[in-house]
Amino acid sequence: MPKRMVTMAGSVVAAMAGGWLILAPFALGYRPGGGAWDRATEVDVWSGVGVVVVALVALAATVLATVADLRGRGVLPARTRRSARSEARRTGQDQTAGPAAGPPASRAAGPPASPPTGPADSPTEAPPSPGAAGGPDLRELLVALVQALLADTPAPAGQRSPNARPPGTHPDGAGEATEGAPHGRWRQTS
């Protein structure tokens, strides 16, 4: 990490020197009368542009490497929302490019006003999976939260609906063993 800090400091100093090279002919008045650029002005300006570009490239590379290192150590979040969105878009493209890519063409030949026939019509018509929804963990967390709230909310006496279940049971038929573990990913494996 100190290595990268030194590199960043050196890059910033070099970028400032390059900026000064660009500005110096105008600031110090190399050009008599302010006419066309003379040779010294051209050399300084283009040398300054090159120095600035190289310094900024070095600075960007160092910053990117530092961010990747911090992500690897867990200091920064693993992925940004933008990268998650791009990954979700890529996942969606993979799903549509898979074996389900054929049916839309045959459906396009049918009557345009016919509604979709349901989930069995095409896998591409299915609701987006948690992995492709942009918030994969948020959906699971919300489902778990709603299930826990429903399980803990006491119904008034005499107003229990016929579908009400005793507290501590799971809606998918599981009993006390799955209490608090609404998703298979979080169940105890040992």
Partner 1 sequence: MTVVALVALLLGGVWVFVAPFGIGLQAPSSPWTTATRNDLATGGALIVAALATLVAYGVLGLREMLARTTRGPEGERLGTGSPQPPADQPGVGG
33 binds partner 1, rule: CB under 8 A? no
One-character DSSP codes across 84-121: HHHHHHHHHHHHHTSGGGSHHHHHHTS-TTPPP--TTT
Site string for partner 1, 130-159 (x = CB under 8 A): --------------x---------------
Site string for partner 1, 49-68 (x = CB under 8 A): -xx--xx-xx--xx------
Q: What's the rounded Cα separation, in Å, for the pair 167 and 170?
A: 8
Applying CB under 8 A, what is the total number of residues that bind partner 1? 44
Name the nearest CA neighbour of 114 among 97, 101, 100, 106.
106
Place of tokens 């940004």: 80
Polymer length of the chain: 190
95 binds partner 1, rule: CB under 8 A? no
Rg (C-alpha) for the chain, rounded Å, is 31
73 binds partner 1, rule: CB under 8 A? yes
Contact 53, 11 (CB under 8 A): no
11 binds partner 1, rule: CB under 8 A? yes
Structure tokens given for 153: 């909310």
Residue 145 or 155 having the CB closest to partner 1: 145
Q: What's the rounded Cα separation, in Å, for the pair 162 and 171?
A: 14
Residue 24 or 100 having the CB closest to partner 1: 24
Packing angle of the helix pair 2-28, 39-73 (nearest 10 deg):
160
Q: Closest separation between CB of residue 23 and partner 1, Å?
A: 10
Q: Closest separation between CB of residue 19 and partner 1, Å?
A: 10
Q: Closest separation between CB of residue 95 and partner 1, Å?
A: 28
List of residues contacting partner 1 (CB under 8 A): 2-3, 6-7, 9-11, 13-14, 17-18, 20-21, 24-25, 28-30, 39-41, 43-44, 47, 50-51, 54-55, 57-58, 61-62, 72-74, 144, 179-181, 186-190
